[in-house]
Amino acid sequence: MIAILGSTSLIIYEIISHNLFRQFENNALKTATNAGLILDLVKHEHEEYFKPNDFNLTLKDLINRSEANINIANNNVYKNNPYFFGNQDISIQWLNEEKKVLVKEGNLIIQWEEFSPSKINKYYDYQNNLFSLILPIKNHKNDQLIGYIKIIESTGFLKNNLFWLKISLILGGGFALILTTGGAFLLTKQSLQPIIASFQELKQFTADASHELRTPLTVIKTSADLVLNNHEEISQDNLHKIKTIVSATEEMNILVNDLLLLARMDKEITEKEKFFIKLPLDEICEDLFDLLEVQAQSSQITLKCDLTPNLWIKGNASHVQRLLTNILSNALQYTPKKGKVIFTLKKELHWAIITVEDTGIGINSQELKNIFHRFWRGEGGRSHRKEGSGLGLAIAEKIAIHHGGKITVESVLSQGSTFRIYLPIIG
């Protein structure tokens, strides 16, 4: 809209200013043509009444001295340009064929000597806001050059008009922009209403479906566990099948719980503050480190940590634990044996920054932009680890945003990844 309104205003400005200048030049030409009608007379009277040291002879002086004053006074210069005499914004000079000024009216001066005897000469002095037009005057009968009329006019009022035109266009454009933006906003809001409604319905459906699926899954799991408890009566073949049912149900339970968490956070984003309490972030990190150290040892990965004490945030404890667990356990899961994972907590301005740096499989740059998408799993990730739903990072990002923070990631394929979690600190 800004581009359209801006270019339209510019075109309008250019057209109007072009027309104003053309009109201005035409008026000057008309004045010069009228003044040209008495050049012959001026030349004649000038020869007769000119005193050698009288350099500033005006047309009025000449008329007063001349016997032919009636002729001149009745001439078109007066009739057609009544505004001319005494007008500070315009000057006329009558020049002979040698370009020497004979008489003049008005005090405007412009330095411009080079002009052609065969065409209308125009010149703008932008520094002093002046315009000058020189019209060569020829004898009607033999078409011989008899002299020139030089008009000098101030462009001040033109500039003033253009200045107000510019202001009107800017104000008008601004007003039009506000109106169109408001209109566009209302129209977009109205047209998006059905999409937003169906999006909400979809979120509600995911939340309801995951919630409803939890009960039958629990029933399947409990029943399968009960059968397993009496495994003496079951054949080896069936025992294996039931174990598969139990582990598949557990996996499905995790998936359904993850989906429910995401759906709930989608819905609750506006009333998040209600469930938030003050949390010691360093202690949560320490507990997590203690918990995952065992996993790191069993995977032969060196896990190091460096935690700044006394960092407090406002949030939901289980969600923050979930966020950190997802990132740190990913680092351990996607780092091969003998690798290294460094877990740090630092304060920077009003942010607590948790950095998880690993020397794992890394992610290539094309895949990096998809990393927080739901159900997305990287090529390398899938071949390194069969299990996984692709929901871990989506949940982590959602929780970080829910807490007023963000997650960033840098990664180099086959060299490792660095995840940074930013959470706003309090106190």
Q: Which long-range contacts (CB under 8 A, 24 or more apart) does 99-107 make?
A: 99/148, 101/150, 102/42, 102/43, 102/46, 102/50, 102/57, 102/147, 103/42, 103/46, 103/57, 103/58, 103/59, 103/61, 103/62, 104/56, 104/57, 104/58, 104/59, 105/58, 105/59, 105/60, 106/152
Helix orientation angle between 281-298 and 317-333, rounded to the nearest 10 degrees = 30
Residue (236 or 383) nearer to ligand ADP, CB: 383
Q: Which of 45, 105, 153, 358 binds ligand ADP (CB under 6 A)?
A: 358
Tell me how far, at minimum, the Cβ of 362 lies from ligand ADP, in Å. Answer: 6
Q: Quick one: which of 363, 400, 407, 421 contacts ligand ADP (CB under 6 A)?
A: 363
Residues 367-406 that bind ligand ADP (CB under 6 A): 371, 376-378, 380-381, 388-394
Whose Cβ is closer to ligand ADP: residue 147's or residue 378's?
Answer: 378
CB of 66 or CB of 326, closer to ligand ADP: 326
Of 41 and 401, nearer to ligand ADP (C-beta) is: 401
Q: Determine the Cα–Cα distance for residues 418 and 369; give it in Å rounded to an integer.
A: 14
HSE on the CB side for 34, CA within 13 Å? 20
Candidate segments 113-121, 226-234, 311-319, 361-369, binder of ligand ADP by CB under 6 A: 361-369
Q: Report the nearest approach of ligand ADP to the CB of residue 349 (Å).
A: 26
| Residues 325-354 contacting ligand ADP, CB under 6 A | 326, 330-331, 334
Closer of 216 and 336 to ligand ADP (Cβ): 336
**How many chain residues interact with ligand ADP (CB under 6 A)?**
23
- The least CB distance from residue 406 to ligand ADP, in Å, is 16
Q: Which long-range contacts (CB under 8 A, 24 or more apart) does 19-25 make?
A: 20/158, 20/161, 20/162, 21/158, 24/131, 24/153, 24/155, 24/158, 25/122, 25/131, 25/133
Three-state secondary structure along 286-302?
HHHHHHHHHHHHHCCCE
Q: Which residue has the tokens 């002729």?
A: 71
3-class state of residue 409 by DSSP: strand
Residues with Cβ within 8 Å of 327's Cβ and at least 6 positions away in sequence, in order, are: 354, 356, 393, 396, 407, 419, 421
Of 117 and 388, CB closest to ligand ADP? 388
Piece in contact with ligand ADP (CB under 6 A), picked from 15-23, 198-206, 245-253, 355-363? 355-363
Residue nearest to ligand ADP (CB): 381
Closest approach of ligand ADP to the CB of residue 381, in Å: 2
Query: Closest approach of Cβ 395 to ligand ADP, in Å?
Result: 8
CB 391, min distance to ligand ADP, A? 6
Instruction: Select from 38, 60, 72, 65 the least CA-distant residue to 50.
Output: 65
E strands within 116-265?
121-125, 130-138, 145-154
* Min CB(388)–ligand ADP separation in Å: 3
First-to-last C-alpha distance (Å) of the chain: 45
Q: Which stretch binds ligand ADP (CB under 6 A): 96-104, 205-213, 296-304, 324-332?
A: 324-332
Q: Smaller CB distance to ligand ADP: residue 136 or 378?
A: 378
Question: Please, what is the minimum distance in Å from the beta carbon of residue 375 to ligand ADP?
Answer: 8
Nearest approach, Cβ of 361 to ligand ADP (angstroms)? 5
Distance CA(343)–CA(207), nearest Å, equals 33
Q: Where are the beta strands (DSSP E) in 31-116?
A: 90-96, 101-105
Question: Which one of 66, 417, 420, 423 is in contact with ligand ADP (CB under 6 A)?
Answer: 417
Q: How far is the CB of 305 from ligand ADP (least distance, A)?
A: 16
Which residues are at the interface with ligand ADP (CB under 6 A)? 326, 330-331, 334, 358, 360-363, 371, 376-378, 380-381, 388-394, 417
